[in-house]
Amino acid sequence: MAQHDSAVLLISCPDARGLVAGVSGFLYAHGANILSTDEHRDDATGQFLMRVEWDLDGFGLGREDFAAAFEAAVARRFRMDWRVAYSRDRLRVAIFASRQLHCLADLLHRHHLGELPGDIRLIVSNHEDAAPLAGFYGVPFFCTPVAPETRAEAEARQMGLLEEHGIDLVVLARYMQVLSPGFVARFPARIINVHHSFLPAFRGARPYHAAFERGVKLIGATAHYVTEILDDGPIIEQEVVRVSHRDQLEDLIEKGRDAERLALARAVRWHLEHRILLYGRKTVVFT
C-alpha cells in the first residue's frame, strides 16, 4: 500500500443530521483529499462515531490552526468529542513480557517487516528469558523482577522507564503479572493485553486448563484494553480455534498460541493506526 503523509480524525458525538456533510465539507473547503472514511451509529444509545483520514499534501490548515478552525466550524455545533492524529507522529511502544515469548517474537518480527507503524522503544520483563530476542532485534531490554514484597518498587522502576522513553502505548505480550490500579490509571486506554481465552469465558491465570476440563469445542484469545478490573477491559479483537475431544491440554495450549499472536497483533496495529474508538465498555474498530 502507498504511504501517505496523512491525518486521521476520530469523532464521537450524538447522532444528528448533517454530521458527515459537515466534516467532509470542512475538509474539502481546506483542500483535503480524503483517503478513507467510515462511520457507525449505535442505535441503542444514538451515538455517532466516525473515522476520516486525508492526505496532507495540499491541505490548507497546519497543525497549529486545525484544532481552532475545526472546533469553531464543526465540532462545537455537533457537540463532538474528537481528536486528530498524524501519520508522521509514530507512537512509541513498550512491550512487557514474561517467559512465554511467542507473542513478543511475533510483534518484533512484524515490526521488523514494517507491519506495525510504531516505534518499539523497549522491552520490559520480570525474567531474563526475553533478553536474547530483544538483542537480536536491537531493542533495549530491561529486567525488573517482581515479587510480592517488591512489587511497588518494580512498578516504580517500570513507570520511570516508560516516562524516560516517552511511551505512548504499553503492550502486555503474555506478561503474567497484574498491574496495580495506579499503573493502569497512568495509561488510560493505552495498555493492551492479550488474554488466552475467549472473554468473558475463562478469566484468570489458567484458562486453557478450565477450557479443557469443560470439554469446549472452541478456544480463543482476546486482546483488550486494560482496566482496574482483571480481564474486564473493552475488547478490541478476538480469534478462535476449533478443537475436539482428541485434543489434550498441551494441544489446546499449542493451538491457542496462534490465536493469541493474531489477536494481539491486530489490536496493536489498529491502535497504532488510530482505528479504535472507545465508548462505554465497548470499542468500535474501523478496519
**Residue from 231, 247, 251, 258 carrying the catalytic annotation:** 231
CA distance 64 to 66: 6
The x, y and z cell numbers of residue 29, run together, are 473547503
Known catalytic residue at 43? no
The DSSP annotation for 132-187 comes to HHHHHHT--EEE----TTTHHHHHHHHHHHHHHTT-SEEEESS--SPPPHHHHHHS
Cross-strand partners of 125: 97, 143
**Residue whose C-alpha is closest to residue 82's, from 91, 90, 92, 72:** 72
CA distance 96 to 184: 14
Query: Which residues are annotated as catalytic?
Result: 231
